[in-house]
Structure 1
Amino acid sequence: MAKKLVRTAGHRLKRHTISILTVFRQRRAAVQLAVCVLLAACIILFLDNRYRVLPNAIHNHLPAPHAHGYVTTDIKIITCNKLNVFNKCALEGPNWHRINKDLYLDSSYTSTAYLYVERKKEDDLQPHEQVIADIRIGRLQPSTIDAKGSKDSRWESRPFGLWLMITTKHPSADELVTGVDVLFGADAADPRSNWQVQDLGLFIDSKAPEPRITFRRGRPLQLEKPIPRIRKDGKFKILQVSDMHLSTGLGVCRDVPSTDIGAAHCDADPRTLDFVERMIEDEKPDFVVLTGDQVNGDTSPDAQSAIYKYSALFARHRLPHAAIFGNHDDEGSLTREQTMALIDGLPFSLSTAGPSDVDGVGNYHVEILGRGTTTHSALTLYMLDSHSYSKDEKKYPGYDYIHPNQVSWFINTSNGLKRKHREYTHIHMDLAFIHIPLPEYRNPHKLPVVGNWTENPTAPVYNSGFLDALISQNVLVVSCGHDHVNDYCVPGVPTQASAQASEHVTSDPSHPAIWMCYGGGVGFGGYGRSAYYHRRLRVLEMDMNEARITSWTRLECCGEEVTSKRWDETILVDGGQVVVY
């Protein structure tokens, strides 16, 4: 009996010991795992601090150096040697924030440089704590007159010709620097309210476009989204601007005819934007639609600088505008999601990402209200992301197509708006804009075209039936970009199956139900292909009194007589019906 009790006690002790050892091993494993995770995090943060290995999506959620309610208390530039992995490229302290743009734009093999901004909440400032009241760039100290002769203010220098006016007085935030950013290029512009770009770039020896400091003084202005509306005369004019192919910096002109004025010295972006501005002044549009490839990815190591240039132009003219993406917009420093988040908040922009459960970024619609004070829609503009390159290159080589859930989203959205649209006192009309042309742009029915067919349409191989969907919802015009040297319009007819399911259309090619147009390439940074091709854009004018859509193109070419002329002016829609020629 005693032996049995001893044996039982021994078993219990053994089990208890094993249990203790198991718990110990589990806790030891947990501690080891925690140490490994902490070590890995430290290594990742160290490498990110040196080489920025974390994705942009994470950086975009870090505190911004121009957050609301803060004032800037100091700015420093830290230069790091890429070859020295132990070189600490950071500033200590919770109030320092790095602007995540290498001032060399990764063009240097040995060096990186970053702008660090120290900011504090305005309410947390201590008496006589220094703040920044102004920023200048120059080789010499700015005049002391700019410091208003105050003993509380002084200029302090930083590397690369950066000067800060430091003051210990605390006037209202409207007189202090509350945001700092970096743009690139001699043509850098900033469309944001209260922001100003310095006239000179930082004196940095770099092959990349020069970095320019832009800063905001005072609190940001809250701009309401514009509400586009039919004019008092019943008309509404859209300027379709496609394929600007803007760069970080001035850009390089491509395929400019040698007979062109200014061909010998051609900076792509200034010439592109000069042409667009001339058309704005001539045509006086009510709205601008950007149909993709605003940014030339290969030459845009800082896509923000490229985007801000066209945005500043539209802001200067107070022009509402909406954009979709092309196949090059996300090939620079920003993804589609990041780009849309950026342009969504810019002045006069009506661009938005659209539903997150629909493929692509930028599937949305814009309502153009009737004239006067009515809240009823007169026009609806459908904007869709046509993506970029095929996801299945072997089966469907070339470019991507409008995906099935996008087609469903469009049909559901259109059906959901029909009842409200019937409340408009005139004929409501719908238009659609995409970047990559639909397969039907190849004109399988050999119908007459209006304008120039200069290159074969690079439409997707796969046909997802989007043209049938457009026709079924009575969209009258769809216009695209992508193929720069095409500017034609061609009638479109539905498939026989689609026509049989509809009451108002037929598959008879002699009775087309929609016009399919190109915008033409406007950007000198994109290809021109033909030695005789001149950059151009499309104008669409809606006359709601007659339910009429008239369209023409404008060219940048050959002197005033050609530039001021309307080319291939055509009535596409009359009485709410597609016109047949």
Structure 2
Amino acid sequence: MNPIKNYLTFVFFVSLIFSAGAQPKNKLHFNADGTFKIAQFTDIHYKPGVAESEPSLELIKYILETEKPDLAVFTGDIVTGRPSADGWKAVLAPVVEAGVPFALTLGNHDDEHDLSRQQIRELLKTFPGYVGKKPDAKSDFGDYLVKVNAENKEKSALLWFLDSNAYSTLDSVKGYGWFSHDQVNWYRKQSRKNAQKSGEKLPALAYFHIPLPEYKTAFDSEAKKKGQRNEDECSPDINTGMFTAMLFEGDVMGTFVGHDHVNDYIVNHHGIGLAYGRWSGGKTTYGDLQHGSRIVVLEKGKRQFKTWMRLRDGQLVDEIIFPDDLK
């Protein structure tokens, strides 16, 4: 069977479900109690037709039922087998069925199969609830910005979804990819464009896949931290200044990545929380931590966030308020 044809059939029936029930939100909004909850899933490494992938789907269902997030975020290395379209259908089915909006950034393994990065982005747009946007013409890397709206616009928040790319594009440099200067410049321009009239920046979070070089610097320092480091940070050898840009622009409160499956820490680096999500995969890849999801809760009008990890066995671990608990 043609996987694309199968997927289109799936979308048709899901559309019928949504037409009969609750529609996913086109725009994100703070709740009546002033909160907005995000569940991060990372490094699922789903392989269609492989039984070892199924626990990750059960995890997604469990997290959505238990935490009831306002947004699900996938931070790369989600589908790592063929046919990719079937994989995306399977991974996103629990999210679509729950009517939860979702956003996504790609990892270094997502486009190594039968779909390019651009084809994956086009495919994602056909799923109900996807809040991703077409990349800006000046940042054709999959980078996009989503606002969490409040009645008072000055109490809104921003969510950055950035493509940290895959591998080095220079023969003289080995290892993983990095943010281009175009991406850094795009972020800075968009940050200033979305500033309030007073010049004050809206509080923001940033999600991407590969940790910045500053992750290692921060963890090795005396800075306060929470969580585990069980492997060296697999960051790029080239530092193009994305962290520095975020520090000077002053909107990003925390960055959330994956990539390193057995790290789950958050560390305070000059007032920005550098955090890992909790590995969400099954036995199709490495990792001996119990899988789960990092939860983040924003509060309207506050430059802080609460975060914890919800594990598959029900445990809630490493709950903190940032930055207060890591000052």
When normalised by structure 2's length, the TM-score is 0.89
**Is 1:336 the counterpart of 2:117 in the alignment?**
yes
**Is 1:284 the counterpart of 2:108 in the alignment?**
no
Q: Residues 322 and 350 of structure 1 are in contact (CA less than 8 Å); yes or no, is this contact kept in structure 2?
A: yes
1:345 is matched with which residue? Answer: 126
Measured on the aligned residues, the alpha-carbon RMSD in Å equals 2.7
Distance 2:131 2:152 in 1: 20
**Is 1:366 the counterpart of 2:141 in the alignment?**
no
**Is 1:548 the counterpart of 2:304 in the alignment?**
yes
**Is 1:416 the counterpart of 2:240 in the alignment?**
no
Deviation at 1:580, TM superposition (A): 3.7
Q: SS at the partner of 1:232?
A: coil
1:456 is matched with which residue? Answer: 232
Q: Residues 107 and 210 of structure 2 are in contact (CA less than 8 Å); yes or no, is this contact kept in structure 1?
A: yes
Distance 2:171 2:256 in 1: 26
- Aligned positions of 1:455-474 closer than 5 A: 455-474=231-250
**Is 1:270 the counterpart of 2:54 in the alignment?**
yes
| Residues 429/191 of structure 1: CA separation in 2 closer, same or farther (3 Å cut) | farther
Distance 1:420 1:193 in 2: 44
Distance 1:323 1:352 in 2: 10
Distance 2:27 2:100 in 1: 11
Unaligned runs of 5+ in 1: 1-98, 104-179, 184-188, 197-215, 252-266, 493-511, 557-562
**Is 1:379 the counterpart of 2:135 in the alignment?**
no
Q: Residues 138 and 186 of structure 2 are in contact (CA less than 8 Å); yes or no, is this contact kept in structure 1?
A: no
Distance 1:534 1:245 in 2: 15
- Aligned positions of 1:123-202 closer than 5 A: 181-182=5-6, 191-194=10-13
Q: SS at the partner of 1:240?
A: strand
Deviation at 1:376, TM superposition (A): 6.0
Deviation at 1:422, TM superposition (A): 6.8
2:322 is matched with which residue? Answer: 572
Q: How many correspondences in the alignment? A: 321
Deviations 1:456-514 (A, max 9, x none): 0000001111101111122110110111111001121xxxxxxxxxxxxxxxxxxx220
1:356 is matched with which residue? Answer: 137
Identity of aligned residues (%): 28
Deviation at 1:526, TM superposition (A): 4.3
Q: Residues 376 and 421 of structure 1 are in contact (CA less than 8 Å); yes or no, is this contact kept in structure 2?
A: no
Q: SS at the partner of 1:552?
A: strand
Distance 1:238 1:190 in 2: 29
Q: SS at the partner of 1:418?
A: coil
Deviations 1:383-438 (A, max 9, x none): 110000111142x2100111100000000000001036979xxx931111110000
When normalised by structure 1's length, the TM-score is 0.52
Distance 1:447 1:526 in 2: 34
| Residues 342/420 of structure 1: CA separation in 2 closer, same or farther (3 Å cut) | farther
Match among 225, 249, 255 for residue 478 of structure 1: 255
Deviation at 1:234, TM superposition (A): 0.6
Deviation at 1:309, TM superposition (A): 1.4
Distance 2:302 2:117 in 1: 39
1:293 is matched with which residue? Answer: 77
Q: Residues 422 and 428 of structure 1 are in contact (CA less than 8 Å); yes or no, is this contact kept in structure 2?
A: no
1:55 is matched with which residue? Answer: none
Match among 102, 110, 124 for residue 321 of structure 1: 102
| Residues 573/470 of structure 1: CA separation in 2 closer, same or farther (3 Å cut) | same
Match among 278, 282, 305 for residue 520 of structure 1: 278
Structure (1 or 2) with the larger CA radius of gyration:
1
Match among 24, 33, 40 for residue 240 of structure 1: 40
